[in-house]
Amino acid sequence: MVVWSGRGILALIFFLIGCVVPRIVFGKEVSGELVFSIGTLLAGIATWVLGVLWNEEKILFHEEDNQYYRYKNNHTLFWIPMQYIGVLYLISSVVTMWKVSVWGAIGLSIIAVIVLFFKKIKDSDLFSLADKKQIVSKFDKIEKVEENESIWQNR
């Protein structure tokens, strides 16, 4: 039985596609470890990036109520958030590549580190807007923030 919430099933689908597509592209002349390593690398990148984008917590301001709300997505596979499944895929890719080629494993490690810093790059001032307030529609699923909780610590 597969347990997921939100778009978490995509983590498993990315893994399955990552295992099948490189085998079709490279054929039987390439070793299975190399194909698996490339497939899990691609699945890990897709799962990590989409997990970071979709599972972010936002503090939103609703102008009609004059209230702040916490908006949190929940995209998991087996109760594990998507971005952490992507990390597991990246680690398995590097470990599998280590069996094939040391230099390939070093290269994949560099790619994995760059992918893992995606969240830091996304949250940097490079991509931020001047106005941090976001308006919430009444149809969004939101959870009220308690009165005694500091709003700005969660930003």
| Cα four-point dihedral sign 69, 149, 119, 15 | negative
Instruction: Summarize the confidence of residues 40-52 as an average pLDDT.
Output: 89
Contact 55, 123 (CB under 8 A): no
Return all residues near 36 (Cβ < 8 A) that are at least 6 apart. 19, 22, 93, 96
pLDDT band at 125 (very low <50, low <70, confident <90, very high): low
Across the chain, mean pLDDT equals 76
Instruction: Summarize the confidence of residues 59-77 as an average pLDDT.
Output: 80
What pLDDT is recorded for position 33?
83
Indicate whether 57 pLDDT > 70: yes
Among candidate residues 6, 8, 3, the one with its CA nearest the CA of residue 86: 8
Share of the chain above pLDDT 70, in %: 75
pLDDT band at 8 (very low <50, low <70, confident <90, very high): confident
